Structures are given as C-alpha cells and as structure tokens.
Structure 1
Amino acid sequence: MNRVFNSAGLWLPVMLYMFVFCPLNSKAQKTNAEIVLTNRQLIDKPNEFYIANVIDERAERNAVAWLLPAPGNLPAVQYKADLQGGASTAVKQFADYAIPVNKTLRAVNIRIKKLKLNETPMSDGRIAGRLEIQLWFELKKDDGNVHLIDYPASTTYYRSATQQYDTGLLISRTLEAGLQFFNKWINREADTNIKLAKGVKLIFTDYSEQPEGDTIYYSAKRPLTWNDFQDKARGGKYVAEVMPGFGYTEQVEVSKAIVVVRISMKVFLPKSAAWVKPEGRTAFALNHEQRHFDIVKVVARHFKQALIAMKLPVDNYDGYINVQYLDSYREMNLLQEQYDNETNHGTNQYYQQEWNTKIDGWLRQ
C-alpha cells in the first residue's frame, strides 16, 4: 500500500519574549500580603477559544513572589507572597475577565509551568526584581488534551529600597501579554493547523494511469483481454490465474479548520502476475478471471462506503482508515475464496452464472 501524506499541521518553536516595562507606580505593600491581580479585558476580543481551566504545575505552589520589605520592616529578609486565592484560582479569574467564557468556542487549558517573582538587593541600595513566567496552552479534548504552544517570558524592574513595587499590576500585564500572544497565534493557525481542526472530510477519486504500463487500474470501459496475461503458465489443474488487489494513496490538507483527506483508490491487476495455458483461452475462462477483478472493485467500494458512514476523529482519522482497510482486505480474500469454491474455479457453469448476476448487481449499486 502506497501512502502519501501532505499534512498542513504547523508547529511553532518555543520562543522567549523579554519584556522591559517602564517602572510601574510604586506603592506600599504590607509584608506577607496577598497579591491582587488587576482585571482587564483583551483589546482584541478572542473568537476562537475560551479558557476552560488553569492548572498549576509548579514544584512550589504556596507562593509566587519572594520580596524584600521596605526599610523599617524587620527582619529585612525575603518574605513569600502568593496570589489572592492561589495561583490557579487567581489566573483563572483573571483569564475569565480578560476572555469571557463562550463554550461554543474551543476549550483551552492553561498549565502554569513557571510563575516566580524574585527580589534581590543591589550594591547601590536599590532592589532588583525579576519575574519569570511560562504558560503551556493546550486544547481540551474528551479523548486526550493536545499541546498547542508555550509562552515563556521574563522581565526585570528596579525600585527604591524605600517603597515596594506594584507586583499585582506587573503580573497582570505579563499574563495579559501571554493571553494576547496566544490569541494572535490561534487566530493565525485556526484554519490550517491540524491540531485545531474541527472535523474530517473525505474526498475519493479513482486512480488511472496513462499510458498504461504493466499494471491495469480498474475501469468498466477497460475489460481484461488475453493479451494482459503475460506471465508464464503454471502447472496444475487450473488454466488461468490473476492476482488483483486494491490500495490507496492519501493527500491531506487543512482548510477552514477541516482536515480534507483526498483518497485515490487503486484497484489494480498486474499483467506480469497473470497467466493462462494455451487450452484455457476461452471466453468462459476469461469471464471467470474478469469477475475476480470485479470483486475487488466491489470490495473497494465497500471500503469507501464504510469510511463515509463513519464520524472520523481529527486526532486519529488515519487509524480508522487503516483498520477499515484491513477489514476490507479480509472481506476481499473471503469473497474470492467463496467465489472460486462455489464456481469450482470457473468450471461449474451454473454457479458461475449465478455469481455473474450477483456481481453485476453489486457493481450497479
């Protein structure tokens, strides 16, 4: 089976964005106080997704910031501060405000891989703060979530030792930048990225080849002739033999969020594997061999009809196609065996005529 893939699914490398913010308005902040995020909606309204869930996967989840107190607040050592309600709850609330929940759109999860703000003293008496963040965006699906893209970023600020920084606003702006980044990415990828596809469409064609070579590809307008039997005759009690089969090739593209699978059906018979004895060149024997070829055409049609009747999953459409191909190939072998057994390899004219009628009916369907 020859299979060709031309997938339009795109993968983007992880990118590191360095943000250098202008100093935020400093304000006093109580030691060990919770950090409150500043809610704000995205300027560009998302129309492809909503945030279904936020999962905190950091190793240390009881704080997001390690800050230094203002002078006079002793001891002058780092203290921990967490987002109000915890990281996953606070980020989910922030995301829901930034992106109103619309469950008719794609459900996306955010996994917090890194969210850490660390302040350290500088030799000139100032305080340096560094925020590092890594968000992991994934498509939520019933049969297993699909990783889409990462958003890593970092920013550094400097402040006076006499006042503390508005860390809530800093983290809010960084989260907002991450959501804006993902919104732009999904808007760009929604129609053509196979990970974001919403369905599968099959388009079938029958393969043909001109000029004809050793292989005959089935056509109702191109019946077998004895000139097609080009292999040396075998011994034994049979007067002729053919070896037909079927396969397919695929070409895949994603268009308007649909995986379009173009399947070119190949019902074939190699001339180099067909043989006939001199005494077997009769119209009756040729019809028997032609019917072997016709049976393969019927089974190939069953293969096509079975796939059309399925609702193929985007994530594993090819697995379903492969399984159906194997099932159809087994059907072909069983039918060929039944045909030869009941017609006694074409020597029983009564049953041969019955099969002729049966196969003609199948071909007309």
Structure 2
Amino acid sequence: MTRILTSAFLSLFLFLYTGNSFGQDVILKLKPTVNTPQARDYTFRQVVDSRDQKSIGQVYDPQRNKHSASFGGNLPQEALQLYNARISSTKNPSYRILVKVYKLDLKEIYHPDLKAYKGDIQLSLGFFLYGEKETIHLVDFNSKVQYGRPSTQMHFVETSLQKLFESSWEYFDSWLSTQYLTNRALVKKVRLNIIDPIRESSKDTVFYDPKRPLTWADFTETPNPRSSYNATIFSSISIEGNAKIENGEIVQTISVKVYMLPEQSWVKDANDYANNHEQRHFDLTRIAADRMISRLKNVELEPFLFEAILNDIYLDAYREMNRLQELYDSQTRNGINSEKQADWNQIIRKALAGDMESFDKILD
C-alpha cells in the first residue's frame, strides 16, 4: 500500500514539474528563449495556424495510456513570441513577416526492451512578406526531429518542439541574409536609368535629332488624293526597358525613342512653309517625350507598384502628345493661319529649350 502511494506521488510530481496534465489532453508550450536577441531589419507580425486538426498527435503516460497533445489553441501566440524573442528589430523594420504553420505531427511508439518511448515530430511552415496589398511567399521550412524519452519524462517532447521552431527561425534568418540583395520580393528601392541618346536614322525610321531637321525625302508614302491636307507625318514616342537587381534595389532601364515613319508620311506640295509645319509636329512629339522624362525623374516608385506607375506615365505622355498635335493643327488650321503658326513656332522653340510656361498655359 505504501509503495503504491509513493509511486502515484512521484508520477504526479513529475507531471506537475513538466507543466503537463494527463487528463484528456496534454497541453504543450513553446517558450521564448533567453538568448541575447539579434539586431535585425525585420519583425514577425503574425503567426497563423493553417492546420485543420489542432491536435499534433498522441503521447503516452507512464501507464501507457494515449493522450491527445496540442497547444490548447495558443500555438500562434506562443510561436510569435518565440520568433520575436530571437531578434531585436530596428525602429522601422523594412520587412514584416507572416508565418503560416502548415503541418505539425507527432508520433510516439513504445519500446518494451528499453521501457521507453521513441518520438518523431514533423514541422512544415511558410514565411511570407507583407506587401502593399497582399502577402508574398518567400520560403518554406520542412524538417523533423526524433527523440527518445523515459515514460515519466514528458519534457523531451516540449524540448524537441522548441528546437524545431528555433531551427525554423535560424533557417529563415540565414535565408534572408543571402537573399535580400538579389530577391525581387525583398528589394527596398527602385532606381531609374533613363537612356535617351541621339539615334541613327534609316530609310524605315527617322529618329529625332535636333541637328537633323526633316526633309521631304523623309516623306515616302504616296499622297492620299482624296485628303484635303497637303502633308501628313506619322511621329510617335516609345519606351523599352529591362529591370535587374543590384545591391538590394531594382534598377529599371528605360530607353526612350522619338521617331517618325517615312512610309506612313506623305506630302503633295513640297514647299518650305509646309516643311516647317510638319517639323513642328515632330518637335511636339519630342516635347511630349521630354515632359515624360521629367515626370519619370521626379516620381517616387515603390518596388511593388512601379511597373504600373511607369506604364501610366507613358500612357499619359502618349495621350498628351496626341492632344498637342490636335491643338496645334486646330489653332493653326493645319498651317493655313500663318499668325498662329508663328506663335506656335515660338512656343515650340521655348519648350524645346526647357521653358514650358507657355506650353502649360496652352494645355490648361
């Protein structure tokens, strides 16, 4: 009788010591480490338990009875505390991290010869970056740990779980240290490299060159006999580019082209006055491109949205170019009104030199 009471008391003492109760469920805990936190430019914002089944498996008590093991619904909070205890974040961290727990499974088997239990724990989770509108998947962690324990030593289970989650942080921290300079999802800045050189023209494409004014030889399409216009020029702007990552920032190269197409441009009466009118159409295309470049140089770009913003700037410039061409032809009556033509000649010359005051008044 005395031995039975002593054994029961010893078992109770061990269960209380490990912080677990062998009632219906065994409640496990993760504990923040007491190690010196590492200075980092990121913080863990949230941990989400994505598992359908919140029990992680079953463990045995000293009488070899099975009990369901879980975190009692506290896994997200405890894991978040564990992760953030490992780091000392900067005041305004560059990266806010979400962790999703996909899988956490525990299996134990009894070894009669050893009178002990062997356990196997598998952990699978993902690290995500909070973006402007959505989370961005960064990397997954998949690992497992095995342990052996005497029947009365439950703390081996919690210790193994603790090691798994700490290993997941070490894995992510190491991954981030090798990725932040080259991984697009982690870049902090966008830098534009705008290329706008004087390009060599060909018979198919005449690129804008202030030292090479248009000649009638650049208008090679057969005139439209039914058109009331004396001449027509097809001029436009385009951009091309590519992006690469250098030292943690996106370097976006934008190549600007201002051109006219001879095979879509024609003239009936090739005189100097008409040539000047068509040259001014080409100049207006150049001005629209200059104004676009000015916007590009002054825009603030975020890594997650910069492509859409650049596209909007280009489309705005294209629409502005068309509006300018229409205003010019409307006010000069396609060059017939010589006074208005002279006014536009002056406005265009100033705009090409960088003085946009008169130009802005016209657009307003």
TM-score range, shorter chain: 0.7 to 0.9
Aligned to 1:134: 124
**1:315-353 Cα deviation digits (max 9, x unpaired):** 121111112222221111111111111111112211111
Note if contact 2:37-2:88 (Cα within 8 Å) is conserved in structure 1.
no
Aligned to 2:5: none
Note if contact 1:42-1:176 (Cα within 8 Å) is conserved in structure 2.
no
- Deviation (angstroms), 1:91: 0.6
Note if contact 1:42-1:99 (Cα within 8 Å) is conserved in structure 2.
no
Note if contact 1:48-1:186 (Cα within 8 Å) is conserved in structure 2.
no
Which one of the candidate residues 36, 40, 45 is aligned to 2:38? 45
Note if contact 1:207-1:217 (Cα within 8 Å) is conserved in structure 2.
no
In the superposition, the TM-score normalised over structure 1's length comes to 0.83
Amino acid at match of 1:271: P
- Deviation (angstroms), 1:47: 3.0
Q: Distance in 2 between matches of 1:234 and 1:356?
A: 27
In the superposition, the TM-score normalised over structure 2's length comes to 0.83
Aligned to 1:264: 255
* 2:170 paired with 1:167: no
Amino acid at match of 2:136: V
Q: Distance in 1 between matches of 2:229 and 2:286?
A: 23
Aligned to 1:86: 74
Amino acid at match of 1:66: Q
Q: Distance in 1 between matches of 2:162 and 2:324?
A: 67
Aligned length: 332
Note if contact 1:126-1:159 (Cα within 8 Å) is conserved in structure 2.
yes
Aligned to 1:66: 58
Q: Distance in 1 between matches of 2:92 and 2:203?
A: 53
Structure 2 vs 1, CA of residues 53 and 162 (structure 1 numbering), >3 Å: closer, same or farther? closer
Q: Distance in 1 between matches of 2:171 and 2:35?
A: 11
Report SS of the residue matched to 2:66: coil
Q: Distance in 1 between matches of 2:232 and 2:312?
A: 29
Note if contact 2:332-2:341 (Cα within 8 Å) is conserved in structure 1.
yes
Which one of the candidate residues 214, 218, 240 is aligned to 1:224? 214
Q: Distance in 2 between matches of 1:205 and 1:153?
A: 48
Q: Distance in 2 between matches of 1:285 and 1:226?
A: 10
- Deviation (angstroms), 1:269: 0.6
Amino acid at match of 2:280: R
Which one of the candidate residues 265, 269, 287 is aligned to 1:298? 287
- Deviation (angstroms), 1:165: 5.5
My pick for the range that moved more, 186-195 or 139-148, is 139-148
Q: Which runs of 5+ in 1 are unaligned?
A: 1-26
- Deviation (angstroms), 1:144: 2.4
Q: Distance in 1 between matches of 2:221 and 2:51?
A: 69
Q: Distance in 1 between matches of 2:329 and 2:201?
A: 32
Aligned to 2:145: 155
Pairwise CA RMSD: 2.5
- Deviation (angstroms), 1:182: 1.0
Report SS of the residue matched to 1:324: helix
Report SS of the residue matched to 1:222: coil
Which one of the candidate residues 299, 309, 314 is aligned to 2:298? 309
Q: Distance in 1 between matches of 2:26 and 2:123?
A: 21
- Deviation (angstroms), 1:364: 1.0
**1:93-149 Cα deviation digits (max 9, x unpaired):** 111211223342222121222223232446867534221212211112343222211
Find the structure with the greater CA-based Rg. Answer: 2
- Deviation (angstroms), 1:42: 7.4
Q: Distance in 2 between matches of 1:285 and 1:49?
A: 64
Aligned to 1:145: 135
Report SS of the residue matched to 1:301: helix
Note if contact 2:39-2:90 (Cα within 8 Å) is conserved in structure 1.
no
Report SS of the residue matched to 1:293: helix
Q: Greater relative contact order (Cα 8 A, min sep 6): structure 1 or 2?
A: 1
- Using the aligned pairs only, state the percent identity: 27
Aligned to 1:17: none
Aligned to 2:357: none
In the TM superposition, 1:182-193 aligns within 5 A as 182-193=172-183
